């Protein structure tokens, strides 16, 4: 691939995963060239501004509906020649106008070992179930209408048999997230990621 991978990030909240990208792969194998949010007050936007990265807000109220909003986001990302879209705590569900435009080029980070505990409050779901092993998944986002159902790119587990609160689990998962997301972006940037032709659910990572 010629030059660093041009990355666009969508974030709704604190943006600590965005910060992890800015502090690691940004300026190396990848360049974060655009950060957009559905929320004008997202701290992630401030982090992007501090790093000199272009930002934009796409509030649902400013668009006729969700697909129209997502089409506008896709236009904005395409104008910046974004090659990979990273969902880093983006709390809105994406629709076809963005997902088809960036087919196979959208990844999401989720604080569970998918397919266990998709959707909201994943860590609390895991605690309620009583699991002993928690973890983080970075997966592709497909236009199949499912939530957190796309093919898995990378996963990392941690055994926390005594955990009782979501806060203590998240304290353990945070550093894992902040390592795993840059790792996933680095792999895509290096061209190390492909799909198994016999099973497109299986993402092949060929790291030398």
Q: Which residues bind ligand GRF (CB under 6 A)?
A: 11, 13-17, 88-89, 109-111, 177
CB of 65 to ligand GRF, least distance (A): 24
Residue among 20, 29, 19, 21 nearest 188 (CA):
29
Helices 43-50, 16-23: axis angle to 10 degrees equals 20
Output the DSSP codes for 24-41: TTBTTTEEEEEEEES-TT
CB of 191 to ligand GRF, least distance (A): 25
CB of 133 to ligand GRF, least distance (A): 17
Pick 69 or 110: Cβ nearer ligand GRF: 110
In angstroms, rounded to a whole number, what is the distance separating the alpha carbons of residues 178 and 97?
Answer: 29
63 is catalytic: no
Pick 29 or 177: Cβ nearer ligand GRF: 177
Pick 64 or 180: Cβ nearer ligand GRF: 180
Residue nearest to ligand GRF (CB): 89
Of 26, 110, 139, 178, the active-site residue reads: 110
Pick 8 or 111: Cβ nearer ligand GRF: 111
Output the DSSP codes for 116-127: SS-SSSHHHHHH
Q: How far is CA 12 from the centre of its chain?
A: 11
CB of 146 to ligand GRF, least distance (A): 15
Active site residues: 110
């Amino acid at each position: 691939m010629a030059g660093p991978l041009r990355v666009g990030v969508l974030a709704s909240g604190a943006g600590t995963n965005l910060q992890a990208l800015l502090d690691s792969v940004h300026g190396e194998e990848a360049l974060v060239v655009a950060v957009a949010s559905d929320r004008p007050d997202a701290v992630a936007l401030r982090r992007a501004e501090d790093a000199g990265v272009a930002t934009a807000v796409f509030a649902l109220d400013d668009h006729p509906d969700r697909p129209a909003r997502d089409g506008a986001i896709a236009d904005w990302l395409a104008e910046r020649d974004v090659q990979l879209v990273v969902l880093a705590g983006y709390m809105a569900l994406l629709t076809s106008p963005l997902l088809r435009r960036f087919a196979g080029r959208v990844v999401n980070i989720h604080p569970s070992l998918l397919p266990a505990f998709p959707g909201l409050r994943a860590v609390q779901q895991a605690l309620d179930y009583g699991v002993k092993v928690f973890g983080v998944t970075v997966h592709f986002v497909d236009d199949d209408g499912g939530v957190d159902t796309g093919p898995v790119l990378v996963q990392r587990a941690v055994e926390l048999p005594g955990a009782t609160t979501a806060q203590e689990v998240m304290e353990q998962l945070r550093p894992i997230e902040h390592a795993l997301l840059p790792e996933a972006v680095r792999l895509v940037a290096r061209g190390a990621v492909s799909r198994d032709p016999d099973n497109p659910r299986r993402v092949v990572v060929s790291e030398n």
